[in-house]
Structure 1
Amino acid sequence: MQITEVAIPVPLHNTFDYLCKDKVGIGSRVKVPFGNKKVTGIVLSHKDKSSFTKLREVEEVIDHEVLLSKEILTFLSWSANYYHHPIGEVLSNAIPKNLRNGKPAVIKKPGEVHDKVLSSGFELTNEQTFAISEVIKNSSEFNGFLLHGVTGSGKTEVYLSITEQLLKKGKQVLVLVPEIGLTPQMISRFEQRIEGRVVAVHSQLNDTQKQDAYLMAKDGDAKVILGTRSAIFTPIPNLGLVIVDEEHDNSFKQQSNFRYSARDLSFMRAKFANVPLILGTATPSLETLKNVIEKKLIRLTLTSRPGEAIMPSVDLIDMRSQPSEPLSKPLIARIKHHLSEGKQVMLFINRRGYAPIYYCTECDWQSECTSCDSKLVYHRSINRLKCHHCGLEKPPESSCPYCSSHELKILGYGTERLEENLESFFPNAEVIRIDRDTTRKKKAFATHLKKINSGEPCIIVGTQMLAKGHDFSNLAFVGILDVDVGLMSTDFRATEHLAQLLVQVSGRCGRGKYKGEVNIQTRYPNHPIFNYVKDSRYIEYAKTLLSERKDTKLPPFAHQALICANAKNKNLAENFLTEVAQLTNSIEIDSVEIWGPVPGVIERKSDYYYFNLYLQSEDRGQLRRLIQTFYQHVETIKVSSSVRWFVDIDPIE
């Protein structure tokens, strides 16, 4: 019998040894006893001896053909190491649920292959041609590229042209997008142009579809693998290129369990496979810009839109001189004008529901969540108050619980109320609302997009879901509401995100043969951010932010880690982190600053109290050493079983 090292999906940082009488390959799944359960694990190595005294036996070898190749195992091990996350959980996270549960690795429904290829239908610009040739020229080794193109400049066409050439060489291509809503649009573009199989990888597929896509990629049958952040872990034996579209987007960061950044991991995925990486965006993140400045990435630019399309004009509406209504008079006038021209209009507000505050006019009582430190949002269509953090729902109070007054009103507005306002101003116009509430049902988002893409005049109302990558050819006007929240935030990244959002939302319009128009409503028209956005000078603004971050020693000029603890008993969570702070302070690494513990931005969520401890250093290696040492000694802290805690490397919240 041979001794086999197995990774098991448990929150422990060690692996386990078993005896195995059958021949089993490294990267194969095995069924093993663990405690009083049987679990599916992944074989990591074979050993001559074990540090464990009494070894149990492998009960079943599931895979007689290796599931995880050496290359993908190396990548996943690196990821587990970097994010200080248990290897068993990382490996489990990387494979579809059916395979995690030990089901056979067979393709059930391969689906059709699109072999009718259409040409692009327009000529490449000189900038597009140059970008394509630069990547192809450097396609036989790892090279990082930032494809920095203004919105609507044809970045997707660059991806398609490079992919076409690499597929002729027998390569496969991995394309990551930030939102599930963008996958159907992107998939149809690739299917129209690519000879061969294109598969999707995202959370809205059923378990069989996920397994089939995974196995078709692993077998080399799928030529293009297109998905959201989890697609970064797909095994791709002939990988020739990694593309991350809208690289600046926070959706690439996983915020639960294994907290990885698919954008950051794309560097290592491309490096291990020795292939080029393209990060595409109109609004590069500060981390990416710093990499360009330090020559870790080559910047390729697309400065104009192809054909006759030109960038939209951007104007501000000073809300200080307007009545306190969601829609200003100038905004209503512009909407009316564009609808009369047979064009589409989009209004952006990053808040769903009808109104964010339900309150008493007599004593100022406000309806709050009983489980979270947050206000309940009123949803008029279902006449319910909802918490957007824990999901609590209840009917609105008919009288104030404090003073018994019946004078209860709503304050503020969200997408639902905006939709109602628009219907009263424009009774003959179709209003299409796109937010998490209207896209819950399967295919609802696709149905909305189909309507918009028909080009019929309409008013589109939506949240951040609309800011990303969509190409609406008949959209002539964009109105942006309630941006001032982003100027008031305590988050040091808030203005970077606001600038990206304004540029991205503005870029949805004017993609046809006419110049689009953007109006931004604000009470702070003199804020410098607006001058940069109006003049399409995002990079200059980003450089001023980089300079500020350098002076204040904040990311990307420093590296951060977050240790978060939560418990239903407030004191238990805080006391645990106080002990963690004492432990980390006792580790003699002077170059790491330790702040906290401090309450979370929302201290109580779903009846759990959250506390954070922040670690920061300009030296990533020293920060890493401190966290490794912390893990070696964390068992010296007596922690209540009711306290949950985790470490988040490179946190963004």
Structure 2
Amino acid sequence: MSVIIQVALPVPLFRFFDYRIESIGQDDLTTLLGKRVSVPFGPRQIVGMIVDVQQDVDYDRSKIKAIIELMDSEAIFDSTFLSLASWLSDFYLHPLGEVIATMLPVLLRKSAKLEWPHIEYLSIDESNSQDLDVKLGRSKLQLALYKQLGIGERALKDIRKTHSAATVKALIDKGLVQKQSKPIQALDWQAQLRIAEKPRPNLEQSIAISTINEAVGFNTFLLEGVTGSGKTEVYLQIIEPLLLAGKQVLILVPEIGLTPQTVSRFESRFGISVGVLHSNLNNKERALVWKQAKEGEIGIVIGTRSSVFTILKNPGMIIVDEEHDESFKQQDGLRYHARDVAAYRSKQLDIPLILGSATPSLESLHNTIVKKFRHLPLTQRAGNATMPTQLLMDMRNQNHQFGIADSMLEKIKVQLEQGNQVMVFVNRRGYAPSIMCHSCGHVESCEPCATPFTVHKSARNLQCHRCAATRYIPNKCSRCGHKELVTEGIGTEQIQLGLEQLFPDYKSIRIDSDSVRGKGKLTRLLTQINNNEYQLLIGTQILSKGHHFPNVTMVLILNVDGALFSADFRAPEKLAQLITQLAGRAGRSDKQGEMWLQTHNPQHPLLQDLINNGYGDFARFALLERKHALLPPYEYQIALRVESTYLLQAEKFLKMSLPIFEQFQKLRAIGPFPAFIEKKQGRFRMLLIVQSASRSYLNKAMTQVVNFLDQQAESKRVKWYVDVNPIDFN
């Protein structure tokens, strides 16, 4: 018989689409949910997911378009994951079809089948092994490979790591080896599990481990440990009993750069392969790990933000490391926060959630105060390491070179002469933030973004860091033709060149998004740093993300004054987290560390509080400020954002929504006002913030507003979207 199904399609519409499936038996109806179908949609053919089955309809079924193909023999999403998708759609006010597409690996969003991928193997062709001396001749490389294959077949991708394609081709052409394609074999990680020797935890670690291990079902723990306190060791010891019981663990990390060192520690401890998910993998690699986790063939999955949607066959725990990090918030499409999704999933699955950080978000700290989360502090560094000394360098009236005070250069020299490493942080990549004409003052700017070009001397060009536009460095002013051009401000490139000039006997390395491009490059650079191949480390926020540098004894932070006076109410929290995380890179072994903060505002209360009392005291005072100001986490926010090539059109759209918000007594609307980055790629950006003390009230009201705006003609003339719990107003 034919059945009418409702399909969620990856289109920006808050509705489902009816299609017809032929020849479905009564017993098969319940198995349709969560399967993918290929369907006609206008002139296109796209892939969607079945979310409902309708047996009784009051219209002619024959007039409904039939599907093109039922793509899966088994459901991709079970009822739990369909429920998660529905919650995401409701909570983030985003179409369900696009939500489901976001949750799927890229290959499965298309027409790919969920099957084990094939790998090519090389093996000896026994039927053609005569006269080897004649066939191989004097080729030592071919003979070496042939002997390796004599032990047994090997994957072609592994052979190519040590042998050239020409060697492989020659053996195949001579008929000595054969190439075969075989599906990847299923893994039995439990049989491989071997627990390596582990260190004895200190008292605070022991309390955290026993508290978590004794908990039953869903609980959320905030593991607040100072940098170097051994949070990873706690993770290792709390998941050990889960792995022994055959349970799987999902671990989220904020940056790709943290993945290799984290994976290495977990593989060394447990003797099993860890599934890795991040954007540097290709689509096939990501789909394979996703499938292995779904089939229960991987015990541990470690990944960045989107890996929160990994399906686990036998879930035991979810861990979110560095839970405060902004990178867990998706800033386009489905604007979810991986930490919040992890919390919902943990409650769904009735498993514990561990949030770890040296600088917890104010939201998480607030949840410990109201007893929603259980607080587990780690106040001491592991081993013999001590907390670094934190100091301010008053830059007023100081002589400086390349942005570094002369007195600081002397301190750097002392550290280098003692065989230590020094880290210099500046949140500006490139050589200089701008280039200007010394004659007329004109600044070379990206017109579509209305922002100065950044000078990149290593790439020999100017770059716009908003839209990625580039142009050659000019040899004369584009306005007056004068040839004397000067740079303003300092970036990582300039600091590196300056330190190389000032300290020619020591090697320097720059770590920013420009210098670490390429698969595996950051991992190689971090290894070289830990091998003490470089003594001067210059970089941006990449250096602050939880890396362990045992030889770094001094951290110098430049150019933070701008963040002290930002219009963003989250700026003090972000700055405090950054400073504390950077300070934690120093003195992580048995050497005393120190952190210096250069500032022209040494008496600023935020800096004084951080230096003298630490992040914990600052955070609790910041929470009190937020409470009096009626800001998150004491009230909830949703941003209505709009982009348009015409500023007045964007403003008109947001003003059109204001009368609707006035109907809700428990709402406050703030704006409209320009985004902090007002223009990008020729489009003006504005937003309106709506907030309430009730999350559910705010969500229901915003749902009505979205439905109203979607029906207005003005909504078709601008690009607009909703951002629930915004953390960035750029």
Considering the TM-score relative to the shorter chain, is it more than 0.5? yes
Q: Does the Cα contact within 8 Å between 1:594 and 1:614 map onto a contact in 2?
A: yes
In the alignment, the residues of structure 1 paired with residue 52 and residue 551 of structure 2 have an alpha-carbon distance, to the nearest angstrom, of: 57
Which deviates more from structure 2 when the two are superposed, residues 461-470 or residues 446-455? 446-455
Which aligned pairs between 1:505-584 and structure 2 lie closer than 5 A?
505-535=582-612, 537-584=614-661
**Alpha-carbon distance in structure 2 between the residues aligned to 1:191 and 1:107:** 23
Q: Deviations over 1:405-458 (max 9, x none)?
A: 323201110000001001001112111101011012222211111101213451
Measure how far apart 1:52 and its partner are: 7.3
Letter of the structure 1 residue corresponding to residue 253 of structure 2: V
> After alignment, is 643-652 or 626-635 more displaced?
626-635
Matched residue count: 650
Of 387, 390, 396, the match for 2:464: 387
Q: Could you say which residue in structure 1 is the equivalent of 2:107? A: 98
> Which residue is equivalent to 1:25?
32
- 1:270 corresponds to: 346
Matched, 1:39 2:46: yes
Verify the 8 A CA contact 1:117 1:192 in the aligned structure 2: no
Structure 1 partner of 2:723: 648
* 2:671 aligned residue: 596
Query: Is the alpha carbon distance of 1:51 and 1:558 closer, same or farther for their aligned partners in structure 2, counting shifts above 3 Å?
Result: farther
Q: Which moved more, 1:99-108 or 1:88-97?
A: 99-108
One-letter amino acid of the structure 2 residue matched with residue 37 of structure 1: R
| Residue among 482, 502, 511 paired with 2:559 | 482
Q: By how many angstroms is 1:120 displaced?
A: 5.2
2:163 is aligned with 1:88 = no
The equivalent of 2:164 in structure 1 is none
The answer (yes or no) to whether the contact 1:572–1:640 under 8 Å persists in 2 is no
Superposed CA deviations along residues 97-121 of structure 1, whole A, max 9, x for unmatched, are: 1111121112226598884856355
Kindly indicate whether the alpha-carbon contact (under 8 Å) linking 1:76 and 1:233 is maintained by their aligned counterparts in 2. Answer: no
**Residue 123 of structure 1: how far off its partner (Å):** 2.0
Q: Please, which of 317, 341, 345 is the counterpart of residue 241 of structure 1?
A: 317
Matched, 1:161 2:237: yes
Q: Counterpart amino acid of 2:690?
A: L
Q: Residue type matched to 1:230 in 2? A: S
C-alpha contact (below 8 Å) 1:589/1:622 kept by paired residues: no
Write the mapping of 1:428-507 to structure 2, written as runs, cut at 5 A.
428-507=505-584
The one-letter amino acid of 1:80's match is S
Which of 275, 281, 287 is equivalent to 1:205? 281
Which stretch shifts more, 600-609 or 568-577? 568-577
Distance 1:338 1:203 in 2: 37
Aligned to 1:8: 9
Question: 1:228-279: CA deviations, max 9, x gaps?
Answer: 1101111112111110000111000000111110011111010000011111
2:413 aligned residue = 336
Q: Larger deviation: 274-283 or 56-65?
A: 56-65
Q: Which amino acid aligns with 1:26?
A: L
Comparing 189-198 with 541-550, which one deviates more in the overlay? 189-198
**Could you say what secondary structure the match of 1:321 adopts?**
coil
- Superimposed CA distance per residue, residues 346-379 of structure 1 (whole angstroms, 9 cap, x where no aligned partner): 1111110000121122332211111102111111
**Is the 1:339–1:457 Cα contact (8 Å) retained in structure 2?**
no
Question: What residue number does 2:363 align with?
Answer: 287
Distance in 1 (CA, whole Å) between partners of 2:210 and 2:66 is 55
- The residue type paired with residue 180 of structure 1 is I
The equivalent of 2:685 in structure 1 is 610
* Cα contact 2:400–2:406 (8 A) shared by 1: no
1:133 & 1:187 partners in 2: Cα distance?
24
Note closer, same or farther for the CA distance 1:405–1:143 as it changes in structure 2 (3 Å cut). Answer: same
Which consecutive residues of structure 1, in runs of 5 or more, have no partner in the other structure?
Answer: none
1:174-200 deviation line (CA, Å, top 9, x unaligned): 100111111111111111112434101
Which residue number corresponds to residue 138 of structure 2?
none
Q: Quick one: structure 1 residues 17 and 470, their matched pair in 2 at CA, closer, same or farther if it must change by over 3 Å?
A: same
Contact kept, 8 Å, 1:455 with 1:473, in 2: the verdict is no
Q: Which amino acid aligns with 2:606?
A: I
Q: CA deviation at 1:613?
A: 1.5
Partner Cα separation in structure 2 for residue 45 and residue 222 of structure 1: 31
Instruction: Write the letter of the residue equivalent to 2:719.
Output: R
Counterpart code for 1:450: T
Find the counterpart in structure 2 of residue 70 from structure 1: 79
- Corresponding position of 1:178: 254
Deviation of 1:46 after TM superposition, in Å, equals 1.6
Cα distance, 1:11 vs. partner? 0.5
Tell me if the contact between 1:347 and 1:459 (Cα under 8 Å) persists in the aligned partners. yes
- C-alpha RMSD of matched pairs (Å): 1.8
Bigger-Rg structure (1/2): 2
The reply on whether 1:220 has 2:296 as its aligned counterpart is yes
* Greater mean alpha carbon deviation, residues 230-239 or residues 593-602: 593-602
TM-aligned CA distance change 1:51 to 1:283, over 3 Å: farther
Looking at structure 2, the residues matched to 85 and 317 of structure 1 have their Cα atoms a distance apart, in angstroms, of 48
Letter in 2 for 1:150: V
2:443 alignment counterpart: 366
Give the 4+ runs in structure 1 shifted more than 4 A: 50-53, 109-118
CA contact (8 A) 2:195 2:271 kept: no
* Distance across 2 between alignment mates of 1:119 and 1:312: 31
**1:59 has 2:68 as partner:** yes
| 3-state SS in 1 of match to 2:487 | strand
Q: Give the direction of change, closer, same or farther, for the CA distance of 1:156–1:636 in structure 2 (3 Å limit).
A: same
My pick for the range that moved more, 289-298 or 35-44, is 35-44
Identity rate, percent:
40
Q: 1:625 to 1:11 in 2, by over 3 A?
A: same
- Residues 578-619 of structure 1: CA deviation (Å, up to 9, x unaligned): 22223433xx21111112222221221001111112111112
Match of 2:309, as an amino acid?
A: F
Question: Residue by residue, what CA displacement relative to the aligned partner does 1:30-76 show, whole Å, maximum 9, x if unpaired?
Answer: 11111121111111122223587642112211110111122122112
Alpha-carbon shift at residue 642 of structure 1 (Å): 4.3
The structure 2 residue matched to 1:634, chosen from 693, 709, 716, is 709
Larger relative contact order (CA 8 Å, sep ≥ 6):
1
AA in 1 matched with 2:608: N
Q: CA deviation at 1:338?
A: 1.6
Contact 2:387 2:593 in 1 (8 A): yes
- The equivalent residue for 1:142 is 218
